[in-house]
Amino acid sequence: MRWLGRLSIYYKVNGIIVGMLLLVGLLVWIVIRQATVDLLGQQMEKRGLEVANYIAALSANDILLDNHYALYERISKTQHNTEDVRYVLITDYTGRILAHTFSDGLPRGLATLRDSGGSSAVIKFDTNEGIIREVMVPIENGDIGFVRVGMSENSTQQLLNKTNRNFFIGIIMMCVIATFLATWLTSLIIRPIRSLADAVAEIQSGNLSARVEAKTGDEVGLLAVAFNQMVAGLKEKEKENNLLLEELRHKEAMRAFLIKKLFTIQEDERKRISRELHDETGQLLASLLAYMKLLLSKLTDQQQKELLQEARDVAVNALEGLRKIAVELRPPVLDDLGVTAAMQKYIQTFSGQQGLKVHFSVPEKQLELDPEVSLALYRILQESLTNIAKHARASNVYVCLSAAGQTVRLVVRDDGLGIDGGLESAGQKNRLGIYGMKERAELLGGSLDIHSENGCGTVVIATLPKILSNVLK
């Protein structure tokens, strides 16, 4: 019955109306037909009794005088003048047939029909010519004889068939009229519902100006009014949402601008501190080492020389540490030789310090990248290797720098423990470096994806444009 649920209301209403009309018409036809059959049967029996009484009233003297010819003339004339009379029999009081209207002889079994339980005034039996109703009337209370008149139902059946045919034609005409009326009524009901459906489709496509005309005051009209009110409310909500969205976009743009500004200021500050450490503090330590060397050449006391040498060694270590910090803050090679050389140098230093095998692959051709892109790739590599050293417990790290079209990609993969619980767990553990890398990539119009499974290592993929557009700058 699922197909019934998919039918349009138009066909459902029409089907219900026409179906109910057919059902009622069928029931009425059955009742009327049965009533007609009963009425026609009663009328036939009544006519049969009238004919039999007429013949009985005129046949008493002829039976007593054995005037069989008069009896035959009378019943033949009666049969000829009465359409429904199939036969007429006259018997004496013993049941012996005195006259009948059968020209080919009396049918077998008809003479003894009354002997086998047929003593009632009217009996009904079936023949090869159809249903026969036989009426029997006594002559002089049965002391002289009986008149038996057989009434045929053929003409009655023909009349009944004609009546049924006319009735069926009437039912069909009523169904046709009902179909037109149901179609008209259904169209009145369906039209506003279809308008509602069309309006809903318009709203789904984003057109909140769609409205439904409420022409009636019934339930459908009230539904249309409520629908229009709902759409008006949706339109107001859309305006509010657009204002909120515009405000959110403005705030997001400001946030991105401030974060980018923060990164820029941070890098500028790193560059300034790196330059000051290298140029000023480094030069002071270098001058101090020169004076200490000169002083060593002047001393004659061996113990003083050893103490001064130890102090000079401490100053040398301090100068090396200072230069290392300056390089980490802003490697000069990044500005001088590019990101590939800077990464190569950083990986060598990192591998030596952490005891990790770092495999680095780069494109054969020199990459021409925007300075901000080079710096972002370098910082993402730094943060990735730092996270691996702190948390991954890896033995091997694979770093791949590649270019395709207008984009450059950095892939850092390790064979460590992976991020337990995924990125959400990393955020809960305040591993903000991951989100810092993601912010750097997205601010430059790129993306950063991290794939990790517990015990299967981690893969960091950063994809950035080679050259930044003016919008991003």
Task: List the CATH code of the domain at 4-106+114-176.
Answer: 3.30.450.20
Helical spans, DSSP H, in 205-301: 219-276, 282-298
What are the tokens at 340?
A: 């590939």
pLDDT tens-digit readout, 176-219? 887 777 777 777 777 777 777 777 777 777 777 777 776 666 67
What is the pLDDT at residue 411? Answer: 93
Q: How far apart are CA 397 and CA 359, in angstroms?
A: 6
Q: Is the pLDDT of residue 221 over 90?
A: no
Residues 6+ apart with CB under 8 A from 134: 48, 113, 118, 122, 123, 124, 125, 148, 149, 150, 151
Q: Is the pLDDT of residue 89 over 60?
A: yes
pLDDT tens-digit readout, 27-75? 887 888 788 788 888 888 888 888 889 898 888 888 888 888 888 998 8
Lowest mean pLDDT among 179-193, 252-266, 366-380: 252-266
- Gyration radius of the chain's alpha carbons: 59
Q: Is the pLDDT of residue 241 over 80?
A: yes
The residues that bridge with 360 in the sheet, in sequence order, are: 399
Helical spans, DSSP H, in 299-338: 302-329, 332-336
Specify the amino acid at residue 285.
Answer: L
Lowest mean pLDDT among 19-33, 85-99, 368-382, 427-441: 427-441
CA-wise closest residue to 357 among 327, 388, 383, 402:
388
Report the mean per-residue pLDDT for the chain.
Answer: 79
What is the pLDDT at residue 409? Answer: 92
What is the percentage of the chain residues whose pLDDT exceeds 70? 85
State the CB neighbour count (10 A cutoff) for residue 19.
Answer: 11
Cα end-to-end span (Å), the chain: 64
Ramachandran sector of residue 377 (left: φ over 0; alpha: ψ -120 to 50; beta: rest): alpha
Q: How far apart are CA 444 and CA 447, in angstroms?
A: 9
Q: Is the pLDDT of residue 143 over 80?
A: yes
pLDDT tens-digit readout, 310-362? 887 787 777 777 667 766 666 776 777 788 888 888 888 888 888 888 899 88
CATH classification for the domain delimited by 336-472, as one of 3.30.565.10, 3.30.70.20, 1.10.760.10, 2.30.42.10: 3.30.565.10
What is the pLDDT at residue 412? Answer: 92
Residues 6+ apart with CB under 8 A from 386: 433
The residues that bridge with 464 in the sheet, in sequence order, are: 408
Q: How far apart are CA 365 and CA 348, in angstroms?
A: 21
pLDDT band at 271 (very low <50, low <70, confident <90, very high): low
What is the pLDDT at residue 416? Answer: 84
pLDDT tens-digit readout, 418-439? 876 555 555 545 566 787 788 8
Q: How far apart are CA 392 and CA 267, in angstroms?
A: 27
336-472 shares the fold of 4-106+114-176: no
Q: Is the pLDDT of residue 471 over 50?
A: no
The domain segmentation of the chain, as residue ranges, is 4-106+114-176, 336-472
User: Considering the entire predicted model, what is its pTM?
Assistant: 0.47
pLDDT band at 399 (very low <50, low <70, confident <90, very high): very high
